[in-house]
Structure 1
Amino acid sequence: MNPWVLFAAAMAVGGAFFYGMDVGADREIAKQKTTQELVDAVYDKAQKGAADSIAAMEIKNVTITQPIRTEVRTRTVYAECKHTPDGLRALNAAVTGRAEPIGQGELPRADPAPPRR
């Protein structure tokens, strides 16, 4: 067999291999570019949709005035519930709606600081 024919055949096979690799690489680059363009388009549409939704929101400040509902529960056990007299007065005032002034609006006297040891 002629060595030039073998050389030509080897060159043809090698050229076809490298041509195929180049075409495959180009095809992969094109596919990645198409995918990236699709991702960018979806991202832009999502950003626009979110911005439109936020812009369409209406902020309303509403003051709700309604009576407090009380629930009557039976068989409630308050075995461990302990309040101070002032706390009990405040709770009763909140439940009945009658606030009693404690100490005629005066603050208690400040205690002196304890001595440092």
Structure 2
Amino acid sequence: MTTTATTTAPAPFAEAPVGASVGVPAGGSVVAPASNGFSISSLVLGIVSIFASFTFFVPVVGLVLGIMALKREPASRTMAIWGVVLNGVMLAGTVIATLGALVFGLVMLPFAFI
């Protein structure tokens, strides 16, 4: 008793009917992928501001982008928080160092004419 079973392998790629949209959900609405550009930019500028905080511009832009990312990108909240923290600390350090240099210069001003 020999039985021969014939099985057909499924086609590797099924063709869509003509006029059908491929990759669109049944409801017809397309969900946009989550964007996390602001939070990544804030984090990168936070890391860069460690080396370039004396410019005062880099930490300010990173801080603004981080705050915008907290409001617009809830999925990448952690990166945005780290960007805000790094940029805020470096901005505060820049302000303190600038004020210290200004005070030191004013204190030493009378001795400049001796």
Query: Which TM-score applies when normalising by structure 1?
Result: 0.32
Which one has the bigger helix percentage? 2
Structure number, greater radius of gyration: 1
* Larger RCO (CA within 8 A; separation ≥ 6): 2
